[in-house]
Chains A and B, each alone.
Chain A
Amino acid sequence: MKRKCGGFTLVELLVVIAIIGVLVGLLLPAVQAAREAARRMQCSNNLKQLGLAMHNYHDIYKAFPIQYRINAIANQPLTQVSWILGFLPMMEQSNLYNQWSHNFSWNTGVNGFQADPRTGPDITNPREGSNAWLLGRGLSFLQCPSDTSPAVGGVALGSRQINFAGATGNVKIGITNYKAVLGANWDYGSIQVTTGSWGRSRFCGDYATLPADVKAQYPFRCPTGFMGRGNDFQGIPTRMRDITDGTSNSLMLGESSFSQNALSSWFWFNGVLATAAFPINRRAECAGGIGRSLVAGWEACWNDWPNQQGFSSLHVGGSQFALCDASVHFISQNIDLATYRNLATIQGGEVVAEF
């Protein structure tokens, strides 16, 4: 009998389809994970660029950028701004930096500081080129693509709406996912780290002996890490020689999910710092956040900064950091808390374990 050629039996077809089905089933989850891997890589690239820009800044100015400065002379301009603002030219944002006027406040001039006349009559809709307009720019190199948390007020990713003093309505601000390491000390809320090498700052004496006004701003005025304002409001910069623990043993920048903290505004001095006193991805600790998932809890407690000014990310299981030598590392949220805090100090003198 002559056998027919070129055909498949039904069984053969079914077997082939089943095999293809199994292979696709294996592939699909892997593809989804690859997308997150790509986002994480872009995120780590952003951190690397920021770290290198820090080093460029140090090469030019012989110091890392200052964080906060109040002019001590009455009626002189206030430059109460973040390290990111002074650092913009290093990230090829000179145009934005040049537009910013340090002679004026960014708001409507509360607390005795002069309002920016370029803003126009309505601060909720500021004119292009004014300080209030500039601070609403979302900058792509400050945003981690993994962080998809909805901005408060429901505006586009990279900015959020806030209602600051002197404004009648909401104002758009640009946000940052990358924050400088304040250190390992903290004394607000239920995290108290004030003693030993984690709490001893080069700017301040023993915690117990601090005057009340310094104590009220202890972690910011007595930072133990890479970035802080120093203890006299003049914004004392960190220099490379200050990092006596070694640049490869000290954290410089880290990630912070902007659902977690009230104000992750890139231009505002309190929006660009986080502390390693908190474990990475610490759960929210306010009544409204109880019983929610990790990220939903952060969003519910977004104003509870005394309990959540730590580092966090939406990557699975940890957060990325740039060390002071500008190398980028992923640090697990299960890292030994002591090791993590040892890494955060720049003059702690600790022996840092493998991480």
Chain B
Amino acid sequence: MPRVIPIIMILVSGVIGCSQAGPATAPVDGVVSYKGKPVPFAKVTFIPHDDSGGSIGIGQTDAEGKFTKVVTAGLTGNGAVVGSHNVTVTESWPPDKPIPVDDMGQQKSPPRGPWSQKYRDSANPALKVEIVAGQDNHFEFDLSK
């Protein structure tokens, strides 16, 4: 009987090791605007600060400049990793139309939006947000400045 105890301990420790969950996430939505007008079909990227070790989250605004879903690794629904993030807003193509291509079939880059370079730059981002656990995180990004 005493021989069995270590074996059980090893098995139990294995179960504990397997049940470890990924980083905590929280739902995110928001609006992107430039000088009072919505910014349609922009890609909003949430880049967690390095120490949190989480995945980036990507959302895309609709025709009204709203994004309701942020895609993050290991998460089927809407959400981003909890903690502080840098946010970049870059152009993208509308999801429901064919993307224009050049002679070679390579997708063209989307036309440049009017907002400043500092909102695109992932190295020196102008937008910084904190995503809090256990609540809906709503952000209103104004790219006018």
Whether, in the assembled complex, B53 has its beta carbon less than 8 Å from a beta carbon of chain A, the answer is: no
B144 within 8 Å of A (CB atoms): no
* CB of B19 to closest CB in A, whole Å: 20
- Tell whether B97 is near chain A: CB-to-CB under 8 Å: no
Which one, A110, A164, A190, contacts B120 given CB within 8 A?
A: A190
In the complex, whether A100 has a CB less than 8 A from a CB of chain B is no
Tell me, rounded to whole Å, the shortest Cβ–Cβ distance linking B32 to chain A. Answer: 15
Q: Is the CB of A306 within 8 A of B103?
A: no
Q: Are A305 and B107 in contact (CB under 8 A)?
A: yes
B122 pairs with A191, CB closer than 8 A: yes
Q: List 16 A-B contacts (CB under 8 A).
A: A80-B103, A163-B105, A164-B105, A188-B109, A190-B121, A192-B120, A216-B112, A262-B106, A262-B107, A263-B104, A268-B104, A270-B102, A290-B57, A290-B72, A292-B73, A303-B99
Residue among B90, B102, B104, B123 having the largest count of chain A Cβ atoms under 10 Å = B104
Measured CB to CB, the closest approach of chain B to A281, in angstroms, equals 16
Bound together, the chains give a CA A306 to CA B99 distance in angstroms of 14
Interface positions, chain B 115-145, Cβ under 8 Å from A, are 117, 120-123
A238, CB-defined interface residue at 8 Å:
no
Interface of B is mostly: loop
Give A285 to B120 CA distance when docked, in angstroms. 13
- Chain A residues positioned under 8 Å from B88 (CB to CB): 190
Distance, CA A263 to CA B55, complexed state (A) = 27
**Complexed CA–CA distance, A102 and B57 (Å):** 46
- How far in angstroms is the closest Cβ of chain B from A268? 5
Could you tell me which A residues sit within 8 Å of B by CB distance?
A: 80, 107, 110-111, 162-166, 187-192, 194, 215-216, 262-263, 265, 268, 270-271, 285-287, 290-292, 303, 305-306
Whether B103 and A190, one on each chain, are in contact in the complex, defined by CB atoms closer than 8 angstroms, is: no
Interface string of B62-89 (1 = CB under 8 A from A): 0000000001111000000000000010
Query: In the assembled complex, which residues on chain A have CB atoms less than 8 Å from the CB atom of B109?
Result: 188, 216, 305-306
Q: Which of A107, A163, A216, A285 has the most CB of B within 10 A?
A: A285
Residue from the list B45, B103, B106, B117 in contact with A111, Cβ < 8 A: B103
Bound: A104/B70 CA distance, A: 47
Residue of chain B at shortest CB distance from A162 = B105
Instruction: Give me 8 other A-B pairs in contact (C-beta within 8 A), A216-B112, A268-B104, A287-B58 excluded.
Output: A164-B105, A165-B103, A190-B88, A190-B120, A192-B122, A287-B71, A291-B72, A303-B99
Max chain B Cβ within 10 angstroms of own Cβ: one of A163, A165, A215, A305: A165
Within 8 Å CB of A291, what residues of B?
55, 72-74
In the bound complex, how far is the Cα of B65 from the Cα of A284, in angstroms? Answer: 24
B102 to chain A, nearest CB (A): 7
- How many Å lie between the Cα of A189 and that of B58 in the bound state? 13
Residues of B within 8 A of A306 (CB): 90, 109
Chain A residues within an 8 Å CB radius of B56: 285, 290
Closest chain A residue to B124 by CB distance? A192
* B120-A305 in contact (CB<8A): no
- Chain B residues with CB below 8 A from A190, complex form: 45, 88, 90, 120-122
B73 near A192 with CB under 8 A, answer no
Q: Which residue of A lies closest to B103 (CB)?
A: A165
Asked whether A192 lies within 8 Å of B103 as measured between CB atoms, the reply is: no
The reply to whether B107 and A187 form a contact with Cβ atoms under 8 Å apart is no
Q: Top 5 A-B pairs ranked by shortest CB distance?
A: A291-B73, A192-B121, A164-B105, A190-B122, A190-B88
Q: A190-B88, A285-B45, A291-B74 are in contact. Are A263 and B105 (CB under 8 A)?
A: yes
In the complex, chain A residues whose CB is within 8 Å of the CB of B25: none
Cross-chain contact of A110 among B55, B103, B117 (Cβ < 8 A): B103
Q: How far is the CA of A291 from the CA of B55 in the complex (A)?
A: 7
Collect the chain B residues with CB atoms within 8 Å of residue A265's CB: 104
Mask: chain B, 43-61; 1 = CB below 8 Å from A; 0 = not: 0010000000001111010
In the complex, chain A residues whose CB is within 8 Å of the CB of B21: none
Chain B minimum-CB-distance residue to A188? B109
Distance between Cα atoms of A162 and B107 in the complex (Å): 12
B101 within 8 A of A: yes
In the assembled complex, which residues on chain A have CB atoms less than 8 Å from the CB atom of B72? Answer: 290-291
* A188 to B88 CA separation, bound complex (whole angstroms): 12
Give the residue name and chain of the A residue nearest to B57 (CB). Answer: A290
Judging by beta carbons under 8 Å apart, are A192 and B55 in contact? no
User: What CA separation (Å) do A290 and B25 show in the bound complex?
Assistant: 15
For B123, list chain A residues within 8 Å (CB).
Answer: 191-192
